[in-house]
Structure formats: structure tokens, C-alpha cells
A and B are shown apart, each in its own frame.
Chain A
Amino acid sequence: MTRYIIFRLFYAVLLLAGTMVITFFMTRMLPGDPIRAAMQQNLDLRDESIVQEVRARFGLDRPVHIQFGMWTRDFFTGNWGNSLSSGQKVVDMFLQRAPVTLELFFLSLFWSWLIGIIMGVVSALKRNSMLDFGITGISIGGLSIPVFWEAIILIYIFGVWWKILPPSGYVPFFEDPIMNLKMVAMPTFVMATHGMAGVARYVRSCLLEVIGQDFIRTARAKGLRERAVIISHAFKPAAIPVLTIFGGTFGGILGGSFIIELMFAIPGLGRMGLDAIFQRDFPIIQTMAVLGSSCVLIANLVTDIAYGWLDPRVRIYK
């Protein structure tokens, strides 16, 4: 198991290094000068010396490989530079926004797994019933509905017509817990929709596969109650393959936060990243890409390790 973990860790570090290189050089290959773009409304471009000064301040006047070396060194020493479009320190921006995105993330993870598992289990146990058809319909709808459209529909229903939830915005939990929960209810639900539907479909198929196996028939033949059969015998083996989609859900939710934070005007990391892409804000794009991919890598690493622990066959490698 230790060798397996070391191998997976090494693999994750390698992927992270690759991500850093690709992110850095790809952002440099994008057309458009970030300094001029960000300054075009504010700076008097007649004074070329000012443009050069700002470029030098952000280290953009140096060769690309030197910039990469400086950025890598600074990144690991916690100096993530200053935003080209807001002038703030990227570390400060990240620390201000990270709790917001984490709250959204954990709540939507909660929605997607809790509701997804319940829907999947109910659907499997009531196979071919109206309830199963209903849940299947909802799941397929959840998988295919565009996030943007779902968000705007919910905003109008709950925020404009019924006026029971604020249409957008964010207040920290420790400032106003009730308002915070009201404000994150819609965005987290929308963020969770896709994952929830995916989990429901996957749980249903895994559970149905397990329920059809001989050992379940044996358990039933022994006279065990149906609840005990499902919880004690069927659920654990069905959960193992479900665990593999955890990493994917994690990445999906993180990616979804870009659109959700934009739609619901939430000042989180997703919106910061999206703004940065349009502004060619290199320090933020690079930081977000590395941290985002690190999170997905860690989630996948945890999944792999957990899977290896649950199923020893997975640990076998050459």
C-alpha cells in the first residue's frame, strides 16, 4: 500500500509540474498585450515610458524563461504577485475569495451527493416504477440542463416572482448566517444539479448490478430483512465504483463555480479566474490554474488511495 501511495504521489507531482509549465507558456501564447489591454481605458498611451514602467513593474519586460523561473520561485515562497487588473496582491485576493468558493463547493458537494445517493437508491429499489421513471427523468434533465439557463430561471422564480430568496449577492456566514444561507441556496443547488444527476444515475446502475448478484439472493434466502440486505450487503460493494466518480464531481463543481459565481454575483475564486482570463491577468490565471489543478489532483489522489484500500486488486501495478 505504501509503495502504491508513493507512486500515486509521484505521479501527482509530475502532473502538477506539467500543469505549471503548460499554463505558464500557454497564457504567454495568447494574443494580446495584458498591460495595454488593462490600461487602455485608464492610461495615457501617448507616454510610452509609463507603459514600459508598468511592464517592468510586473516583470513582463524580461525573457519568458526568466519570467517562468521567477514565477515558480515566487509561487512556492507564497509571493503570487499582484493582479494586473486590480493591483491587489494575488495572495490577498485568493485568501479573501477562497472561503466563499469553499462554502459553495462544500454545500454543492453536499447537495449532489446527499440527494444524488438518495435518488439513486430509491430509483434502484423501485426499479421500473413511476417513481423510478420520475427520478430518471429528473436525472436526465439535470445532466442536460444548461447551468446558465437553470440559474436565470431560478433567479426569476425565487428572486423576482416569489421574492423568497435574494436574486444574487453574497454575505459571509459569520456576518449574517440566515442571509448567507438564503444567498447560497440557489447557487449551490444549481452547481450541484449536474453532479447530483450523475451520482443518481451511477448509484442506480451500481446498486442494480449488485442487487442482481448471487450473494444478495443468498442473503434474502437466509431470511434477512430487506433493509439489512441493502444496507449491510448491497450498499458497500455498490459504493466502491461510485467512489471513482468523486474526483470527477470535484473537478466539475470547481469548473462550474466559474459560471455560477458570475451569474449569482458571488465574489469567489471562480469569478476572479474568469475575469482574469478576459483581462489576460497572468498572475491570477497562473495561480488559479495551478491551485485548481492541485485540488483536482488531490481529490483524485484521495480517490485512488481510497479505491486501492477498498479493492486490493487496484494496487497491483508494474
Chain B
Amino acid sequence: MSISGKHLFFVAVLGAIVLLLMTSPLSMNAMGDEGKSSWVWTEDYPKPSWWIWGKEYYPEEPVRGGYMQYSRTRGAGLLNPNHWPVNDFPLLSGIYDRLIYPDGDHRATVPWLGKHWKMENPTSILMKLRKGVTFHDGSKFNAHTLKFQVDWINDRATGCWSRGWIQPLESIEVVDDYTVRWHLKDVWAGFFDIFANVPGWAMSEKALRGGDAIKDAQRLADKVKLAERKVQKAEKKAKKATGSKAEKAAKKVQKERKKLEKLRNQLAKAQELSKGAKDMDEWAVGSGPWMLEEVRPDNYITLKRNPDWWFGKTIGKPDMPYMDGARYTVIPELSVKLANLKAGKIDTLGVDYSQYPQVKDDPNLKVWITPLNSTLLLCFNETSSVFKDIRLRKAVSHAVDRKAVIAAASGGFGRLASCSFPPEHFAHNPNLKPVNYDPELAQKLVKEAGYPNGLTIRGALYTDSQSRRYGEVIKTMLKKVGITWKIRYLEPVAAADTYRNLEYDLGTLVDGWVKDPDSLLTGHYYPDLEEEFRRNNIPEVQQLIEKARRELDFDKRKKIYWEVERLLYEGYHDAWLWHFTSITATRKVVRGYNRELQIAGGEAYWPTHPGWFKDGKRN
């Protein structure tokens, strides 16, 4: 079949029309931003429900520009998250990208720098890494830098606190430039959670080496000084020495000089390597959306936008992050923070419930109330107190009117807790209901336990105002059923010692920022470990914790945790009170926050959905 000129003309016109349609603004809208996304979702990696941008996510278009102002209660501490002390993980999480993100149900499932992964066998994971990621110092992220980082954390000499977290890891192997193989010592279901956390925050190898060189140079400089003194001492001795002693002294001088020379050479090399380098503890270098601009310890830290950030480009939004930067100013006092928010000096603030009336009707502010994944519970010392007896644990649990405590101590902002995990967490057992308030039953149980005239127990709580509020309310409730709770209000350092030494009968615990259940449950119910302070010993719970740690099937693992919750609940091993709620007041000029998506996306929401200012600047 021959093709005539007429046919060719027709094909050319059709092609031109298609091309025109494809490049027209109408067509771009029709395709939407997703059309430009390079992310591929599969059955193994399903697209999350919150993976939405554009009008469906927020009715206004993002605008570039402006510096967001935040406040912080204290300085950030060290800026390498693996070095203690770190006081501001949220700030650092904007600087460092991580391998994986946990989403709304707190499972580490969202691919990030780890593009996808496969369990080759129970102790080996093959992970493909993202290409095109550049650190803030211009170096590239790849399998080699990741291996260097993991080995660096594992090296005792670098003094990383996070080393303890990755002990179940045998080694990391570079398969090719963008593929690594993780070798585990044993089956480790918590692997992904750990690498969604600090050990998986990607750091520049170049910056780490530079920091090490600075420390080496400092160490060697001290050694050189010491060696110089030794040479001087030896020379003095040699001058005074006579006869055979003189020869010996001269040899000693030669020896010390050689040592000094060697050290000087080493120092020169270290100084060469450290030229222009900054210690990562003082200058963080990651690949995240924000990079350091200025650090004033204990005053403020300013971050600026990373123009080369990879993520925005992969979803067709190269303007991400939209703001020019952010400043985190230290303002320790809560009332002064609120004054700054009202004066427009800061843009957002997590307020105390007592400040809620001052922000809720402010025409310049928008208030968001969101569930937090942290829990407050009354903890029993089952080892060396009367609470070995389940009847007394049960009595305390039924004596507390949780709704009343939440109203009195937290202004009603809190969700009743049935056990450790909040309802949105995958480990939460939905069959458990919060323990009901039944003072008659509680009173009866106290008598049955052998205390017809009541009993006195010891307690240790923190000195902050909220602890005092709920402490006093619960104390009154316990008194009604015949339990006198003698509370000592202690500042955190002293309270920690009291708990460690089991010098209490009934105390409180706050489970903060719960993610993978293993670390939380291990911390509370595993007597061999320091965190738990041997306050209880529940073998069946410990066995289940170990079983869950080795269970790789998600559904089976989830059921094990449900079983753990059931055992804890039925044994009244603690009295869970409420899951916290956050109240955040934000100036209305800040746009782009979608509460529902944030709850669904969890931690992964924040880097993927950055906010912006209404007109691209603070007003």
C-alpha cells in the first residue's frame, strides 16, 4: 500500500493537533500534576490515599516566598541527630531526608530515599535507592554514602547513641551504585521502623569525613603539644647528663623527636582534610527541603530553601518547598510565645489547653485540633509494692473517672485510652474499651485485698502544671475509695531516679511519639532492660513481644500486638488514661494545611505537603 502526499498531509495535521493539545494549558490541567509525577505505584507499593496535590488538596495555588517563624522552648542541641544531645528532631527532620517514612497508621511504608525493597530471605533485604539526590554540600547520595553512614554509626569511636538501635544489623553491602543489601543477624521486624528513624536519616559522607578530620586535628594538636613538652624535657636532661647517661639521653631525645615528627605529619594531613570543613554537630548537611543558613546557639536557627530538592521535581512541583526559609527562635516561656504569636512575630504555635480561649476566637488565627500519638498512663510498681495484687491494680483503674480527669487537667482535650496504642495505630486492639468508672467496685476491691480501713501508697510525679492538675484530681478520686496517694512532685531528673530505684508504688508514664510497637512495649514490659526499671514481670507478654519481633507477616504481627494489649488490659498491668491531642494556632496568612490529609499521611505528610504564605510573604 502506497502512501500519497494527501495522506502524509493528513497525518502531519493530525500530529500537529495532538501535539498542540498535549502542550496547551487546557491539556496540562486535564492531566493534572500527577501527569508529571515520576512515581510508580504497584501492588506492593500502593499509592497512599493522601498522595494528592492541587485543588483537591487545597483550594488555593501555592505561592513562593517568605520566611516562616517558629518558636522553640530550648536550643536545638547538636545538629547531627546521631550525637547526643539532640533537642529538636522536628527541625532536623526538615534538613535530613530519610530512607523510609511512616504514614498515618505509624507503619514505615512510604518509600523515600529507599525507592523500593524486597525481603530476599528473613535476614536479607535488598533495597533500591533513589537517584538524583544531592546533599546540601553538592555531593551525591548513593549506596556508597549510605554504607559509609551506617558503618560510621556502628563505629564505637564515633560515639553515636543510635548505634544501640541498629545492633540487630549484621552489615550493609553495596550491590551497585544505587542498590544495597542489608544483612541482619536475625529476623528483625522492626528494621523498617528503625530506618525510618534517625539511623536512616541520610547524611553527607563528605561532611561526616570533614567533621571527623576536625576532631582528629584537635586530638592530634593536643598530642603534638604533649610531644613537644616531652622533647623539651628530654633535651634538658640530655644537656645536664654526662658520660654513659649522656649517650642514653641523646638517644631518648632522638626518639622523642621522631615521635613528634610523626605526629606533626599526621596533624598536617588532618588539617589539610579539615580545611573548609564544618563539624556536623554544629552544621547539619542533609539532602532535605531545608538547609542551614545561620546558627545562633540558644537564640535561633535559620533555614533556607534547598533549590535542588529532588522531591518536588519528581511530582512536577519544582517550586517545593514554597517558602524561602524558616527561623526557629528559642522562647522558653509559654505565655511569651503566645504574646509573640498574637503580635505576629511567630506564625504558628502549639498552645496549652489553658491558652485555648485566648486563641480560638482570634480573627488572625486559625486553630487546629489534631490527635497525637502519645499516651498518658498510671504505671504500677508490681515488683516491690502492694500492686502485686491485681485487685488493687483493678481498684485504682476503676476508681479513676477518666472523663473527669481529662476535663479537669486537660480542658477536655484528650481521647480516652483503653491501652497503650491510640486508635489509629495498627497495634491498637479495637476490641478493648476504656475501663469504666466504678468507685463502688473499687472500694470493694480494696477491702477484699485486705485493707478494710484503706491504705497509703507512694507516688512520684513531675512538677509541671499539667502533672500537678491531674495528680491532684486522681488523688481525690483514689481517696474516695480508701487509697491515700502521697505524691512527691519532682523535677524530671529527680523523678527519673525515683522511678529507676522503684521508690514509688503508683506513678505516671507518658508514651511519646509511638511508632513501631516493639520499642514501646519493650521499654515498658521487658524486665531485662534498663528503661523498664524492673517494675513488672509478665512472661506471657514478654514471649509475645519476642514473637512479634520475629514475625514478618504484617497481619500476623498486628494480631500478636492485639493479644499483648488484651493481656495487659485484662491483667490491669497499667491504668491507661488518655491519648493526647494537640492544639495548634497558626496565623491565617499561612496556607496549605489539610488536617485530614495530615492525619492520614502522618509524618510523611510534612515534607510532601509544605505550606506557603498567602501572598508569598509574611504580613
Contact = CB atoms under 8 A, between A and B. Distances in A.
A140 interface: no
A296 B156 CA distance: 45
Contact of A47 (B78, B84, B87, B163): B163
28 contacts: A33-B493, A36-B496, A36-B497, A37-B496, A38-B84, A42-B84, A45-B530, A46-B529, A85-B77, A86-B75, A86-B78, A86-B298, A87-B85, A97-B298, A155-B336, A155-B339, A159-B339, A159-B340, A160-B342, A168-B331, A169-B329, A169-B345, A262-B333, A263-B333, A265-B329, A265-B332, A275-B74, A280-B493
A87 B332 contact: no
A264 interface: yes
B522 to A, nearest CB: 8
Interface string A40-72: 101111111011011001000000000000000
A45 B531 contact: yes
B436 interface: no
Contact of A31 (B333, B339, B494, B529): B494
A163 B84 contact: no
B85 A86 contact: yes
Given A88-B297, A271-B298, A275-B74, A167 B165 contact: no
B456 interface: no
B492 interface: yes
Contacts of B495: 32
A278 interface: yes
Contacts of A278: 491-493
Contacts of A47: 163-164, 167
A292 interface: no
Contacts of B83: 87
A155 B342 CA distance: 11
Contacts of B87: 85-86
A247 interface: no
A42 B343 contact: no
A272 B299 CA distance: 11
B304 interface: no
A170 interface: yes
A265 B336 contact: yes
Nearest to B166: A44
A16 interface: no
Interface in B323-339: 329-333, 335-336, 339
A264 B163 contact: no
Contact of A267 (B86, B330, B491): B330
Interface of A: 30-34, 36-40, 42-48, 50-51, 53-54, 57, 84-88, 93, 96-97, 152, 155-156, 159-160, 163, 166-170, 262-265, 267, 271-272, 275, 278-280
Interface residues of B, number: 48
B77 A167 contact: no
A166 B162 contact: no
Top 10 nearest A-B pairs by Cβ distance? A32-B493, A47-B164, A44-B164, A37-B493, A31-B494, A267-B299, A267-B298, A265-B331, A45-B530, A167-B339
A54 B84 contact: yes
A85 B75 CA distance: 10
Nearest to A171: B299
Nearest to A85: B85
Interface in B108-162: 156, 159, 161-162
A263 B336 contact: yes
Interface string B401-413: 0000000000000
A47 B154 CA distance: 13
A272 B522 CA distance: 35
Contacts of A167: 336, 339-340, 343, 345
Contacts of B490: 31
A279 B296 CA distance: 21
B86 A42 contact: yes
A160 B339 contact: yes
Contacts of B77: 85-87
A86 B530 CA distance: 24
A175 to B, nearest CB: 10
A163 B344 CA distance: 10
Interface in B529-546: 529-531
A55 to B, nearest CB: 12
B34 interface: no
A57 B156 CA distance: 13
Nearest to A57: B159
A265 B330 contact: yes
A106 to B, nearest CB: 20
B563 interface: no
A40 B164 CA distance: 14
B493 to A, nearest CB: 3
A34 B522 CA distance: 24
Nearest to A87: B78
A299 B335 CA distance: 35
Interface in B268-301: 281, 296-299
Contacts of B425: none
B159 A53 contact: yes
Given A85-B85, A280-B493, A50 B530 contact: no
B500 to A, nearest CB: 7
A315 to B, nearest CB: 45
A77 B232 CA distance: 21
Given A45-B531, A272-B298, A50 B161 contact: yes
Given A40-B496, A159-B339, A168-B345, 15 more contacts: A32-B494, A43-B84, A50-B164, A54-B84, A86-B78, A93-B298, A152-B339, A155-B339, A167-B336, A167-B343, A169-B329, A265-B330, A265-B336, A275-B74, A279-B493
A152 B338 CA distance: 11
Contact of A46 (B336, B491, B498, B530): B530
Contacts of A156: 339
Interface string B328-371: 01111101100110110100000000000000000000000000
Contacts of B343: 159-160, 163, 166-167
Interface string B499-527: 01000000000000000000000100000
Contacts of A37: 492-493, 496
Nearest to B496: A37
A168 B336 contact: yes
A197 B85 CA distance: 43
Nearest to B165: A44
A152 B337 CA distance: 11
A247 to B, nearest CB: 29
Given A31-B497, A86-B78, A278-B493, A46 B164 contact: yes
A50 B161 CA distance: 7
A194 B46 CA distance: 66
Nearest to B519: A44
Interface in B62-90: 74-75, 77-78, 83-87
A81 to B, nearest CB: 15
Contact of A50 (B163, B297, B339, B491): B163
